[in-house]
Chain A
Amino acid sequence: MVLQNKIVCEKDGAAPFRQGTMSLMEKLEILSDAAKYDVSCSSSGVERGGNGKDMGNCNKAGICHSFAGDGRCISLLKILMSNECTYDCKYCINRKSNDVPRATFTPEEICTLTMEFYRRNYIEGLFLSSGIIDNPNRTMELIYRTLYLLRHKYHFNGYVHIKAIPGADGELIRMTGFLADRMSVNLELPTAEGLQNLAPNKHRKTILTPMRQIQNGITQNKNELAIYRNAPSFVAGGQSTQMIIGATPENDYQILNVAESLYRKFDLKRVYYSAFVKVNEDKMLPSLPGGPPLLREHRLYQADWLLRFYGFKAAELLDENRPFFNVMLDPKEDWAVRHLECFPVEVNRASYEMLLRVPGVGVKSAQRIMKARRTAKLTFPDLKKMGVVLKRALYFLTCNGRMMYNTKLEEDYIVRNLTTDKERIKFGSDGMSYKQMSLFDDHMFTGVVGIEDRYRSAVGMF
């Protein structure tokens, strides 16, 4: 393999670095810059050992290889095949009407880059998407050809995530699915109206068709694998999708409902939410003076986790009358303070499902509690050691019939206590505060009180 790699390098020695007038460096810059708004970064979901001769394996948990300046992980070589696009989606930097530098990778360039980056342990695999070159079919075919080359000529056995192009022929998607570990079709916007307004060339139907096809393919493949162990696997890592948040006027309740039905009806592994970053000036787009709606995105992800791992339903978290998430409390705290009739929960007796609903208790700590309480009675110090965040959990838990402190089970009291620290950090810093006005603005004093200060205040010297 070493030799093989060397040959590849030498043979294409000059070509990958300078093709036409644009160097590989410039292309990589343009096409990774164009791909950065695709959110998916995970390399998880597939466990595949090495085959003893080819390069690559896959780790079920996924591996992050680096972190970019925005704090998002760099796990895959995230690039577009081309940022030439015949579509004119209002929110997209690569839309037809934008005057931006355009570039297209050749399949060989993508393969060489992937192999060389992978060898140096820079990346976990490839994430390949593309602008629409001529038409969806041609684009999908180019992606397929690249992937075929990568798998069969370069013998790459690592992780590959492919974007299925809506509107492409079903057969092309099926063929690609046998080579990829994860596929995704971008839902783009939560509702069909939004899509119609901002992405006139895309239609809800063309997006959902490949999604359904991939879902059916995965189910069918599972059945095949159960009988024939060595049958080729189809999109083993499942499929995901992403939605842009804040470009259209949907509320959180609508978005969460869409996500829930995607999980339920399409068996998606993940739904990603992408806070809208305004890259184009367009009268159809909202102005976002405060930057991308990051807090909103964060709350949606929190709720998403509650849907997938904590047994919550979208209708429990939000409803028609309260369609937006609480800014101050996370969705789980918010649910808990509105359902105080379920609390306090006795740690030594409560069901796993109920433990999961306690703020400050996560999946890991709930599992540990379940295991540990078989052999011993748990106390609050034990819970702390097991990773329960008592700062949040203490209002909702009892150990052996006792609460940790003498607290009240009142909505106002708990909300006040849960938000105190956050308030100071988020709202106190810029002078705006939800705190009740008082004569003593003691939270403004951040300096440490020394022994000298105490002495002074005691004897009345200021």
Chain B
Amino acid sequence: MSFVYQCEDTLEGIFTAIYRIYEDKHHAFETRISLVEENLLFAEYIRVETDKERAIKVMRTCQQKFGEKDYFGLCMALSTGDLEKAQAVYKTIAYGLETKPAPGHLFDHLTDDYVLKTFKLSSTACREAHHWVGFLRFRELENGILYAVIAPKNHIMNNLMEHFSDRFPSENFAIFDEKRKIFGIHPYRGQWFLATGEKLEERFREVPYSDAEEKYAELFRHFCKSITIKERANPRLQMNMLPLYFRDYMTEWDKA
């Protein structure tokens, strides 16, 4: 008999499920966390309702036992779209609590399959976040707000907002995640926050770009062209470094 905990696909949901497993005192080898509906004959299914307090307890434990950096790694792994991520992170935490590595050394144990999987997931997400930090493009709207649209594979809005609010503290800017329909909004010298809502989408869509916007976009397009050394042209390398799926969102690749 195995126990399958089913929870919702959020950071809090998964951490609540982990709390529940420890609460129920099930052993790690007979327990699983699943994010999808499934029906196995020899399994007992337990639905987990997300509970903020319990989730925070698990988060705090992870922070204390594994250190800030590794806790961040676990969170990044959970930001991916992988369906097995909850199981991998749960097993990684269980492994860590059992073997008690020093803080910052959770991901040393790469011979463990689940630790390796979590590590891979978290590096994928971090790498993508780093890519978007560079490839994201703001466009200035008529009202002076900077507005960017992105479509990342993983949920990396938090990373982006952290980075850009530090970089542009005195700007009003908004980043829109097209895939998840989430806005990250930063007001002038204020604290950033996330927001959703169709009205918000519409409002941003209605505002035209400022007059200067097209001029600077054009300047940058010309810059990108003139900085290329023709004798060294290498479109393959360019494609390796800047994959095509970013280009739909980048000013210099506009068809205009």
Quick one: which of A56, A119, A375 contacts B108, CB cutoff 8 A? A375
| A375 neighbours in B (Cβ, 8 Å) | 99, 108-109, 111
Quick one: which of B105, B140, B227, B233 contacts A120, CB cutoff 8 A? B140
- Indicate if the CB atoms of B231 and A291 lie closer than 8 Å: yes
- Given A77-B223, A374-B108, check contact A71 B238 (CB 8 Å): yes
Quick one: which of B134, B166, B219, B231 contacts A277, CB cutoff 8 A? B231
In the bound complex, how far is the Cα of B211 from the Cα of A17, in angstroms? 13
In the bound complex, how far is the Cα of B232 from the Cα of A2, in angstroms? 40
0/1 interface trace, chain A 65-83, chain B, CB 8 Å (1 if under) = 1111111111101100000
**Would you call the interface of chain B mostly helix, strand, loop, or mixed?**
helix
- Given A28-B223, A33-B226, A49-B166, check contact A117 B216 (CB 8 Å): yes
Quick check: is B28 within 8 A (CB to CB) of the other chain? no
0/1 interface trace, chain B 110-141, chain A, CB 8 Å (1 if under) = 11000010000000000000100111111110
In the bound complex, how far is the Cα of B132 from the Cα of A162, in angstroms? 27
Quick check: is A447 within 8 A (CB to CB) of the other chain? no
- Indicate if the CB atoms of B235 and A2 lie closer than 8 Å: no
- From residue 165 to 224 of chain B, which have CB atoms closer than 8 A to chain A? 166-172, 188-189, 212, 215-220, 222-224
Quick check: is A217 within 8 A (CB to CB) of the other chain? no
Quick one: which of B111, B212, B222, B232 contacts A378, CB cutoff 8 A? B111
- Given A70-B234, A71-B240, check contact A29 B111 (CB 8 Å): no
- Nearest B residue to A374 via CB reads B108
| A15 neighbours in B (Cβ, 8 Å) | none
| A9 neighbours in B (Cβ, 8 Å) | 212
- Indicate if the CB atoms of A32 and B170 lie closer than 8 Å: no
Question: How many A residues touch B, CB cutoff 8 Å?
Answer: 64
Quick one: which of B137, B139, B220, B228 contacts A69, CB cutoff 8 A? B228
- Given A32-B227, A36-B227, A371-B105, check contact A64 B134 (CB 8 Å): yes
| A49 neighbours in B (Cβ, 8 Å) | 166
- Given A29-B222, A120-B146, A372-B110, check contact A70 B228 (CB 8 Å): yes
Quick one: which of B188, B215, B227, B228 contacts A17, CB cutoff 8 A? B215
- Indicate if the CB atoms of A63 and B218 lie closer than 8 Å: no
0/1 interface trace, chain B 223-256, chain A, CB 8 Å (1 if under) = 1111111111111111011100000001110000
In the bound complex, how far is the Cα of B96 from the Cα of A50, in angstroms? 35
- Nearest B residue to A73 via CB reads B241
B170 nearest CB across to chain A (Å): 3
A253 nearest CB across to chain B (Å): 25
- Given A66-B252, A371-B105, check contact A122 B220 (CB 8 Å): yes
In the bound complex, how far is the Cα of B108 from the Cα of A80, in angstroms? 47
- Indicate if the CB atoms of A37 and B229 lie closer than 8 Å: yes
- Indicate if the CB atoms of A63 and B188 lie closer than 8 Å: no
- Nearest B residue to A13 via CB reads B212
In the bound complex, how far is the Cα of B238 from the Cα of A457, in angstroms? 43
In the bound complex, how far is the Cα of B170 from the Cα of A275, in angstroms? 42
B162 nearest CB across to chain A (Å): 11
Quick check: is B81 within 8 A (CB to CB) of the other chain? no
Interface residues, chain B, with chain A CB atoms under 8 Å away = 99, 105, 108-111, 116, 130, 133-140, 144, 146, 148, 164, 166-172, 188-189, 212, 215-220, 222-238, 240-242, 250-252
Question: Which 8 pairs of residues, A with B, have the shortest CB-CB distance?
Answer: A71-B237, A1-B170, A371-B108, A376-B111, A70-B232, A69-B228, A71-B234, A67-B242
Between A and B, 20 residue pairs with Cβ closer than 8 Å are A28-B223, A29-B226, A36-B228, A52-B169, A65-B134, A66-B242, A67-B242, A69-B228, A70-B237, A116-B216, A120-B138, A120-B140, A120-B220, A122-B137, A124-B134, A277-B231, A292-B232, A374-B108, A375-B108, A386-B110
